[in-house]
Amino acid sequence: MNVLRLLPVFTLFAMTISCTSFKDVPQSNPPVVLMDVGRGDVTFQVQTNAALQQDLAERLAYSIVPKAEQSPVRFFFLQFEQPRTTFDQQLALGLDLKPAALISIIIEAKEDTLPSGIVVYWNAKNPYSRDSKNMAKRIANELQTYDASVGKPQKSPSPILADTPLPSITISVGNLSNPSEMEKLLSTSYREELAAAIRSAIMTHLL
């Protein structure tokens, strides 16, 4: 599996942005995507089914990674494996890889029981908001071939999407408070199909 595992770091990293287009920033070849699970949107903080949210989001996220050893895109997972390791410290190590994007995978648990479907979010305050918006649009368009109900990307207040110094989006894949969406997300075959669709959308955007 072509996954770059994150080791704990205890040094802070600062990145100065001197250009408005991310195309001007040196990037790794093949492209590297930073993957975040469950922290890309404020609605994830709802405590209902929190453990199940995290478990299913992780299962889905890891299924996105290509099985082939020689993949045209590499994936680097940000994880809280050490109590003293902050998100900023994890991100610092990831930025050393000159990534092309940060993509957060979340499963929501809203108080209402309305279906959420698949929603792609971006944040207008991101330093590369234009690139983030364009990435959100392209990935949403690609996902529409898998699920016609996928709509236009939406703005998110997430501080992670706002503060990360590279194009960043969140893909929300459903609402556990909705019985039909919970049933789908509990299905291994559904998650694998959805993961394949997200993987294809990411690669179409980056390659």
pLDDT of the residue at 108:
83
- Higher-pLDDT residue of 149, 49: 149
* 85-96 pLDDT tens trace: 677 888 888 898
d(CA 146, CA 83): 38
The total number of structural domains in the chain stands at 1
* Mean pLDDT across the chain: 80
Classify residue 86 by burial, with Cβ atoms within 10 Å: 0-12, 13-18, 19+.
Answer: middle
> Looking at the domain assignment, is residue 17 inside a domain?
no
Distances (CA, A) of 147 to 27, 28, 60, 144, 161: 31, 31, 16, 5, 24
pLDDT at 77 over 70: yes
In a domain, 8, yes or no: no
For residue 159, how far is the Cα from the chain centroid?
A: 14
Q: What is the reported pTM? A: 0.82
pLDDT of residue 87: 77
Angle at the Cα of 75 from the Cα atoms of 73 and 77, rounded to 5 degrees: 170
Q: What is the pLDDT of residues 3-35, one digit of tens each?
A: 444 433 322 233 333 345 666 666 778 899 999
Instruction: For residue 129, name the pLDDT band (cuts at 50, 70, 90).
Output: very high
- pLDDT digit string, tens, across residues 143-184: 998 998 899 999 988 888 888 999 999 999 988 888 898 899
Query: Which structure tokens are listed for 16?
Result: 């100065």
Does residue 114 or residue 207 have the better pLDDT? 207
Residue 200 CA to residue 164 CA, distance in Å, equals 24
**Residue 68's CATH number:** 3.40.630.40
Note whether residue 1 is domain-resident: no
> Whole domain around residue 117: which residue ranges?
24-206
Angle subtended at Cα 48 by Cα 46 and Cα 50, rounded to the nearest 5 degrees: 80
Answer yes or no: is 7 within a domain. no
CB count in 10 Å sphere of residue 168: 30
- DSSP 8-state assignment for residue 24: G
Domain presence at residue 16: no
Residue 14 located in a structural domain: no
Check residue 85 and give its pLDDT: 67
